[in-house]
Amino acid sequence: MIITVNPATEEPIAEYQTMTSGEIEEILEVSLRDALLWKRVSIPERSVLMRRLAALMRRQKDRHAALITREMGKPLAQAVAEVEKCAWVCDFYADNAVSFLKPEKSVLDEGVRGVVKFEPIGLVLGIMPWNFPFWQVFRFAAPAIMAGNGIIVKHAPSVTGSAIAIETLFREAGFPEHLYRTVHVAVEEVDSMTALMIEHPAVQGISVTGSTAAGRAVGAKAGRALKKSVLELGGSDPYLVLDDADISQAVAICASARLLNCGQSCISAKRFIVHSSVIKEFELLLLQRMQSAVMGDPFDRAVEIGPMARQDLREQLHSQVCRSVLQGARLLCGGAIPEGKGFFYPPTLLSGVQKGMPVYSEETFGPVATLIEVADEDEAIRIANDTSYGLGSAVFSRNIERALAVADQLQTGNCFVNSSVKSDPRLPFGGVKESGYGRELSLYGIHEFVNIKSLCFSG
């Protein structure tokens, strides 16, 4: 049995029956049948349904946003924006799938021609997280379905209501009944049920968004089964503030990037690496911004910081803060668990962060900002790369050429200049090192789960 809980009140929301291995195998079989039929549907016909799905989400956005907020605590305005972004990615692939999947023709020799085709592989298993319960699913599912595949999703138990709502949306939009299915797995059976699905012959690809530990486990299972996997894992994104940065602008962007979704994002700004000549000004303005952020009921439109999604996540974050303070970090604000119901944790700012402290090397998945002072650009780059992660990064400078030169030296899959890191349907998204491999979104995302077939013929 899965019981979902409202993280703002700690009250139960709903109960859901988990599935047996037999029920999951039955879903895989019927979904494979629908996937085999779906691959014969033309891309323009697929686009009609995908646009219908986008329109349906926009009409129902308030209902789905409220569900997201109840299940994981995201402020309501952010939840609405999440649903709208899902509609955007559906429209994006409806508009571009024909060109992305167009066969590539070439002349190899006199009288010999070649064609590269992009064919669906069948069923793709998505193992999805709770922090963006709609967006993480749609950015994986929209391109895979437009490529002609079927989808099975094992979502995080805490957002089971969202998982069911997404499946319902696909059916209401007119997609085949079993083309997109979600499975409900008991926490104690996650490992065995995941292995069952990965090893099942119906499943030909696996996409994971989650922690590095989860990615390692699933990637190992996929490797043993010789099945393609895409891993979008954790991050400890560095934001480099150079000595010629517009500090007011940098603080506004950095604070929002740290506090969005209560800091519970793989691409949140997590390490602020600031030049010594501007760190005092940056610290003062960032402290004022963090202290002014309103924390409370996520359904209140004035609230910027809702609760963290679970109690254990809050405890882990608080432990990282306390251990870092014991090792010499200065606590400028926050850092205390508030009394009362709900898994709230206040915006927290730590300065004087040094190598060896937990918040220097570990991913902090919550509203905790860390300040690291550097003497020059070279030291900033070295510290930015001194991590096992490599997902996103940002550079702040009034000199764009200088910022781009710094960006070229950062070991990340994404780098933004004078802006926060974000996933955009038009750009490939993914990381390096322990942040995973493979890419989502754009042309590269739709090509992850296709058979790139070469044909050669004469005449």
* Residues tagged active-site: 232, 266
From 159, 118, 153, select the one nearest 137 (Cα to Cα). 153
Angle at CA of residue 173, ends 201 and 207, nearest 5° = 35
